[in-house]
Amino acid sequence: MATLDIRDLHVDVVTETESKEILKGVDLTVSSGETHAIMGPNGSGKSTLAYSLAGHPKYQVTSGSVTLDGEDVLAMSVDERARAGLFLAMQYPVEVPGVSMSNFLRTAATAVRGEAPAIRTWVKEVKQAMKDLDITEEFADRSVNEGFSGGEKKRHEILQLELLKPKIAVLDETDSGLDVDALRVVSDGVNKYKADSDGGVLLITHYTRILRYIHPDKVHVFAGGKIVESGGPELAEELENNGYLRFTSGKPAAV
Ligand code: ADP
Ligand code: MG
Ligand code: MG
């Protein structure tokens, strides 16, 4: 049983010219076996939360805490976060020319498991995971994220989830840019991870669409840099019907 605990988190985004507070006191607890959806208008700070959890240097925590089973996540390096069992989908969004997917995944698995998986079993493991996720075999030989479509990037994330089996997975806008078939594959991948590993999922999304395939236990509305309302799946239905206007004082959301 693992628990990610976010307490009164305040985060500034630091650019060349200024530093601006984006997260204004986020409180959230995600435990093993739970699926939480964070939904909110564009520009409300959802991705900033994900980047902050990932330890991106542009996002500076000014106060509050993040712990995983009591361990201070904010004091950990990006690698240490992964080893502790935290998976952040955007952790490796960059292209890595010359590094094949299979090598990349083995390196990641080595970091998380503390020892390199034996080549023979590893190849079998990767093949099986790719088959389960409906990913063609040639994908394993391609360079990481190089020329990947949006859908392929997402499949890559889900493949990592399947192979690394983290305790808590944070997935930011996993549904954006996915056609219905890809959405299905990704959702099946997340659901398989939940069933196999009893992992906790924090799913950050603007659209309710993916929640037809991945059923959240709890839904949180994010606006103005914090959670402004929490509820069950019925809250997602309300958002589907009425949008976010109720949470943005009638002002249209920033794009
Ligand atoms: P969301 O994911 O909810 O659409 P974001 O977290 O991407 O929201 O953005 C929240 C606010 O923080 C926006 O005003 C955005 O312009 C600003 N912001 C986020 N990241 C950066 C960045 N790297 N540089 C400058 N501003 C940023
Ligand atoms: Mg956005
Ligand atoms: Mg975003």
CB 212 within 8 A of CB 46: no
**Per-residue model confidence (pLDDT) at position 89:** 77
Mean pLDDT of 247-251: 74
Ligand 1 atom at minimal distance to the Cα of residue 254: 14
Ligand 1 atom nearest residue 204's Cα: 2
**pLDDT single digits (tens) 181-198:** 778 878 888 999 999 999
C-beta 22 within 6 A of ligand 1: yes
* Residue having the nearest C-alpha atom to atom 5 of ligand 1: 45
More confident residue, 185 or 247: 247
Q: What is the pLDDT of residue 98?
A: 74
Cα 42 to ligand 1 centre (Å): 9
Average pLDDT, the chain: 88
Which of 71-85, 101-115, 139-153 bottoms out in mean pLDDT, i.e. has the lowest? 139-153
Q: What is the pLDDT of residue 174?
A: 65
- Would you say the CB of residue 221 lies under 6 angstroms from ligand 1? no
Closest-CA residue, ligand 1 atom 24, reads 15
Pocket test for ligand 1, best of 48, 52, 53, 247 (most atoms within 8 A of CB): 48
Ligand nearest to the CA of 22: 1
pLDDT of residue 92: 47
What average pLDDT does this structure show over 203-219?
A: 91
Mean pLDDT score, 208-218: 92
Cα 186 to middle of ligand 2, angstroms: 20
pLDDT at 7 (0 to 100)? 98
Q: What whole-number distance in Å separates Cα of residue 234 and Cα of residue 7?
A: 25
94: pLDDT strictly greater than 70? no
Nearest ligand (C-alpha, residue 222): 1
pLDDT of residue 30: 98
Give the nearest ligand 1 atom to 58 CA.
Answer: 23
| Ligand 1 pocket residue status of 11, Cβ below 6 Å | no
Per-residue pLDDT tens digits for 137-173: 888 888 877 777 777 778 888 888 999 999 999 998 7
Predicted TM-score of the model (pTM): 0.90
Of the candidate ranges 2-11, 83-92, 105-114, 232-241, the one whose mean pLDDT is the lowest:
83-92
- Report the relative pairing of strands 35-39 and 218-223 from DSSP bridges: parallel
pLDDT on residue 84: 92
Q: Please say if the pLDDT value at position 86 is more than 90.
A: yes
- Look at residue 153 in the predicted model and tell me its pLDDT: 79
Q: What percent of the chain has pLDDT over 70?
A: 93
Tell me if 42 CB under 6 Å of ligand 1. yes
Taking alpha carbons only, the member of 132, 121, 123, 88 closest to residue 103 is: 123
Domains of the chain: 3-247 (3.40.50.300)
Phi and psi torsions of 128, nearest 5°? -65, -45
Q: What is the mean pLDDT of residues 54-70?
A: 95
Query: Does the CB atom of residue 176 touch ligand 1 within 6 A?
Result: no
Nearest atom in ligand 1 to the alpha carbon of residue 50 is 6
Question: Is residue 253 over pLDDT 60?
Answer: no
- Distance (angstroms) between ligand 1 centre and the Cα of 114 equals 34
Instruction: State if residue 200 touches ligand 1 by the CB under 6 angstroms criterion.
Output: no
Confidence of residue 23 (pLDDT cuts 50, 70, 90): very high
* Cβ(189)–Cβ(158) below 8 Å: yes
